[in-house]
A and B are shown apart, each in its own frame.
Chain A
Amino acid sequence: MKRHLNLTVNSEPRQILVEPYYSLLDMLRDELHLTGTKKGCDEGDCGACTVLLNGVPVTSCLVLAHSAHDAEVTTVEGLATREGLHPVQQAFAEYGGLQCGFCTPGLIMSAVGLLEKNFDPTEEEVRYAIGGNLCRCTGYTKVVQAIMAAAEQARP
């Protein structure tokens, strides 16, 4: 039976009715219709469902929705502000870090997670940090360039 769950999604406190067996990913998509977070495998292998859970990147298909009570969840929809895109989003657009776009939200969230921890990553560190994100279209070259450029931008 569905039960109430309280958490914060993209800075908004929410109370949601969710099945006990739902993943955080299914909750975001099916209950909140926040469809920016993608389901590429539902097995933790592709990274398309990456969101920030209390500030760190996780594959939301591997999280039980109810375990995320009182947590703060940030999805790709929560990155842009009134002032504009997040620097990582901006850089992906400018540097061609996306093609079909299906991996993009997950990659962007992983990149945001990296830059929160390390604002001056080397190319190798960037490649390591997105090691959990599959992209079939870009070959990663421009994705890495975009993240490096975003880091440069974001540096104080």
Chain B
Amino acid sequence: MARFEYLEAHTVRQALSMYRRHAPNVRYVAGSTDFLIRSRMGNWNPEYVVNIQHIPALQRTSFSRRNGLRLGALTTVQTLQDHESVQTHYPALAAAAASFAGVQVRNLATVGGNICNASPAGDTLPALLAFNAQCLSTGPEQGEQRSTALDEFFTGPGRTVLEPGELLTEIRLPRPEPNTGSLYIKHSPRGAMDIATVGVASAVTLAADRRTCKDVRIGLGAVAPTPIRAYAAEGILRGNEITPESLAACAEEARNTASPIDDVRGSAVYRKEIVGVLTLRTLERAVEMARDGTMAFETQRRLAVQAAF
């Protein structure tokens, strides 16, 4: 337990002004799942906490075939898991949500918090990368807004491009392409309540012939200082025919892209090995889904956690 004062904002403007008033010893909290842990460990000791959880403008979630998916920063991970449009059009994201902690944490944790916390192992991040997510944020001074590609959002473990006091407001995912399949697989010792040893999301769009890879995006988690895209690997597949060999070559390249570390959750050597395996598995499933249309969510969920294969 550590002491702090509690402030609560009900609008974005209010949050920003509370921040300005108490900077620099102030921190936003949304679901507070990361915050309370760090606070108790003594890593974060703000004097003031600005709770943004009750700002209605950040709670909205919408989907349309034209505009794609818009997620208010406060969208909970459980909402991502349960949302029909997410399950149907962005299955890798729903699967990532399903692999996340347990239901009690998913009901609290927000997608904005997952992004701002910028853990290399954040489960929603590889999937959001694979869907080319854009982050909308509002600066603390004049309330200036900007949009940053998620791929450029992270600058290091726990670090992002956000300026002090800048608030992440919305995450936008472009509209789904037809003939697309995607899946996230998390490797962890247990089937729940684990931080990913490695997490991989792949999204594959097939050309009309259903054999050629029109587009592919691969997000990797827990294998570098930040979640990353495996661009080189994507390049191997994009525009080429899907064959066991081309998928394997792509996975091998993803493996080469990874630069993991040793920690209590796994060795670098092991992580590197697993990146290749998971990339191949997510690609294979994504291709299957792109060909067959959908996959029952139960199946996605089952596949999402490697421990429970």
Direct contact of A and B (CB under 8 A): yes
Q: Interface residues, chain A, CB within 8 Å of chain B?
A: 3, 19-21, 23, 26, 42-45, 47, 50, 53, 56-59, 61-64, 66-67, 110, 113-114, 124, 128-129, 131-133
Residues 1-26 of B, flagged 1 when their CB comes within 8 A of A and 0 if not, give 11111101000000000000000000
- Within 8 Å of chain A (Cβ to Cβ): is B192? yes
B82 nearest CB neighbor, chain A only:
A117
Contacts of A23 in B (CB 8 A): 36
Contacts of B2 in A (CB 8 A): 21
Residue contact A21 to B104, C-beta cutoff 8 Å:
no
A65 nearest CB neighbor, chain B only:
B6
Residue contact B108 to A62, C-beta cutoff 8 Å:
yes
Q: Which of B6, B101, B192, B301 contacts A64 (CB 8 A)?
A: B6
Query: Which 10 pairs across A and B sit closest by C-beta, in order of nearness?
Result: A132-B102, A131-B192, A20-B6, A59-B104, A131-B102, A66-B6, A56-B107, A132-B104, A57-B104, A62-B33
- Within 8 Å of chain A (Cβ to Cβ): is B29? yes
> Nearest chain A CB to B309's CB is how many angstroms away?
13
Residue contact B78 to A56, C-beta cutoff 8 Å:
yes
Residue contact A21 to B4, C-beta cutoff 8 Å:
yes
Q: Which of A3, A26, A63, A110 contacts B32 (CB 8 A)?
A: A63
Q: Apart from A62-B32, A63-B32, A128-B192, what 19 extra A-B contacts exist at CB < 8 Å? A: A20-B49, A21-B2, A21-B6, A23-B36, A26-B1, A44-B33, A44-B36, A47-B104, A50-B104, A57-B104, A58-B104, A58-B107, A59-B104, A62-B104, A64-B36, A67-B8, A124-B302, A131-B192, A132-B105
> Which residues in chain B, 43-66, are within 8 Å of chain A measured between CB atoms?
49, 51, 53-54
Residue contact B191 to A131, C-beta cutoff 8 Å:
yes
A53 nearest CB neighbor, chain B only:
B107
Bound CA–CA A7/B87 (angstroms): 34
Which of under 10, 10 to 19, 20 to 34, or 35 or more describes the interface residues of B?
20 to 34
Count, A-B residue pairs, CB within 8 A = 89
- Within 8 Å of chain A (Cβ to Cβ): is B37? yes
Bound CA–CA A114/B104 (angstroms): 11
Residue contact A43 to B105, C-beta cutoff 8 Å:
no
Task: Decide if the interface of chain A is mainly helix, strand, loop or mixed.
Answer: mixed
- Within 8 Å of chain A (Cβ to Cβ): is B193? yes
Residue contact B192 to A132, C-beta cutoff 8 Å:
yes
Residue contact B192 to A66, C-beta cutoff 8 Å:
no
Contacts of A20 in B (CB 8 A): 3-6, 49
A62 and B3 in contact (CB under 8 A), knowing A45-B193, A67-B54, A131-B193? Answer: no
Contacts of A131 in B (CB 8 A): 102-103, 191-193
Residue contact B101 to A132, C-beta cutoff 8 Å:
yes
Residue contact A43 to B40, C-beta cutoff 8 Å:
yes
Q: Which of A3, A45, A57, A61 contacts B103 (CB 8 A)?
A: A57
Residue contact B40 to A42, C-beta cutoff 8 Å:
yes
B191 nearest CB neighbor, chain A only:
A131
> Nearest chain B CB to A75's CB is how many angstroms away?
14
Residue contact B107 to A61, C-beta cutoff 8 Å:
no
> Nearest chain B CB to A13's CB is how many angstroms away?
19
> Nearest chain B CB to A103's CB is how many angstroms away?
13
A130 nearest CB neighbor, chain B only:
B102
> Nearest chain B CB to A67's CB is how many angstroms away?
5
Contacts of B6 in A (CB 8 A): 3, 20-21, 64, 66
Bound CA–CA A66/B31 (angstroms): 13
> Nearest chain B CB to A43's CB is how many angstroms away?
6
Residue contact A62 to B105, C-beta cutoff 8 Å:
yes
Bound CA–CA A21/B102 (angstroms): 24
> Nearest chain A CB to B304's CB is how many angstroms away?
11
> Nearest chain B CB to A3's CB is how many angstroms away?
8
**16 pairs of residues in contact across A and B, judged by CB atoms under 8 Å:** A20-B4, A21-B49, A26-B1, A44-B36, A45-B193, A57-B104, A58-B104, A62-B33, A62-B36, A62-B108, A66-B8, A113-B103, A131-B102, A132-B102, A132-B103, A132-B105
> Nearest chain B CB to A149's CB is how many angstroms away?
21
Bound CA–CA A71/B297 (angstroms): 31
A68 nearest CB neighbor, chain B only:
B53
Bound CA–CA A45/B105 (angstroms): 9
Contacts of A133 in B (CB 8 A): 102
